[in-house]
Amino acid sequence: MYLSRSQLYDLVWSKPITTLAKEYGFSDVGFSKICRRHNIPLPPRGYWARVGAGLKISKPELPHPHRDDSVYIPPRTAITDDEILRKKRQLDKVKSEIEQIGNITVPDQISSPHKFTKNTRLYFEKLIKKIETAKKSKSIPNNYLSIINSVYRGRLVCHESNCFDASVSEALVNRAINFLDVLVNELESRGFKIKSVHDEKAGDYVVAIKSDEYISFKISEGYKYEVLKKAPKEMSELERLLYSDKKPIPTGILTFSVYARETKIGKNWTDGKRLIETELPAIINEFINLVPRQKQLRIDAEIRAEQRKEEARLLNERESKRYFDKSIYDEAMKEAQIFKAHQELEAYLNHLGELFLAKNDSFTEQAIAWFSTVRKVALVQNPVDRRLEWLGPH
């Protein structure tokens, strides 16, 4: 739907934006974004309450009214009360499930680490030592390629098959590993298996498996680029290899991602007012819910694939029948053309015979033989008898 800026301005000042959002299938935030994008002022907080109280409140003019551009409102289904109620029930259900999981604490020290925790910690410890040694060296270390491959945009990364998928700075290694250790132990207590699997394209990675559903997860630290303040001569050979004019700086903010490996559905949590550690009950609940969701999506995909297969089969049948019918038609047309030619041939032979007799008293042996040969061959080539025989009972 297209509205001019002035039409949209009149619309948003005619009723509360929450009502409009419901009518047009948007969230009130989404509807507000459309208005702000086109510089259309919105009623301030409390405006409709004051209007309902009978107060007369002036509204701001539409900025740049001469620019009455067309605003596109994407078509969406209006949000019904039933849909709102369904979403509320779903949110309440998820909230109840998270509450049932209870609080989960991540300790500063892990007393009995998971095997993948041990592997990841050991890998990072060795990598950190390699980097420290390389920074002190005035020449390029022999193992510089393995170091470069294990540093991605200022963060340490483990590419071994028996490590967690983690991209973090040295400062957050301990926090990230402790978080993952608590997570995988909680998942195993709820029936998940934590395994390293191999994929021809993606390589090796650690997943959580339940009911044959593979759920992937990773933890990563954000980064930003800063211009290098060191002069090249103040940098080690390794730093000069890794960075040119700017250097990626880790932000100290962790993001945890969980997603169903096959369908790519999932969710992210990022440090903010609440750290991701406090979101562990919600994260575990997402793991649990992803299992049936991915299974159902696979079933739905298989059903759609079967439907497409059946539609293709029916289409092929229709096309085959169409081509078959057309071949019958083409064959009949050829026979009709041959039949018409034979009728013309018989008329020609009769006319030729009359002319011959008009000039001669009788047919010569040569004429009789010629006429006889032509009619004999014509009888064989005429399609009528063959078609009657084919169409008749067998």
The confidence band for 181, taking pLDDT boundaries of 50, 70 and 90, is: very high
- DSSP-derived letter for residue 272 is S
Over residues 334-343, the pLDDT tens digits come to 999 999 999 9
Q: What is the pLDDT of residue 59?
A: 86
Same structural domain, 174 and 235: yes
Q: What is the pLDDT of residue 92?
A: 81
Q: Decide: 36 and 29 in contact? Cβ < 8 Å.
A: no
Distance from chain centroid for Cα 28 = 27
Domain housing 234? 99-304
Same structural domain, 7 and 37: yes
Residue 221 has pLDDT above 70, yes or no: yes
Same structural domain, 265 and 116: yes
Percent of the chain exceeding pLDDT 70 equals: 90
Q: Can you tell me the mean pLDDT for 177-185?
A: 95
Residue 382 lies in a domain: yes
Same structural domain, 131 and 72: no
Same structural domain, 339 and 283: no
Computed on alpha carbons and rounded to an integer, the radius of gyration of the chain in Å comes to: 41
Same structural domain, 349 and 258: no
167 or 136: whose pLDDT is higher? Answer: 167
- How many domains are there within the chain? 3
Q: What is the pLDDT of residue 19?
A: 85
168 or 231: whose pLDDT is higher? Answer: 168
Smallest CA-to-CA distance from 377 within 346, 354, 351 is with: 346
Residue 314 lies in a domain: no
Residue 313 lies in a domain: no
Same structural domain, 142 and 65: no
Q: Can you tell me the mean pLDDT for 261-282?
A: 91
Residue 199 has pLDDT above 80, yes or no: no
Q: What is the pLDDT of residue 274?
A: 92
Same structural domain, 15 and 163: no
Same structural domain, 383 and 251: no
Q: Decide: 248 and 223 in contact? Cβ < 8 Å.
A: yes
Cα dihedral: 73, 75, 78, 79 (round 10): -80
Can you say whether the dihedral through the CA atoms of 35, 36, 39, 40 is positive or negative? positive
Residue 187 lies in a domain: yes
Over residues 102-149, the pLDDT tens digits come to 889 999 888 899 999 999 999 999 888 887 877 776 666 666 666 767
Residue 18 lies in a domain: yes
Residue 84 lies in a domain: no
Residue 12 has pLDDT above 70, yes or no: yes
Same structural domain, 252 and 155: yes
Q: What is the pLDDT of residue 206?
A: 92
Q: What is the pLDDT of residue 63?
A: 87
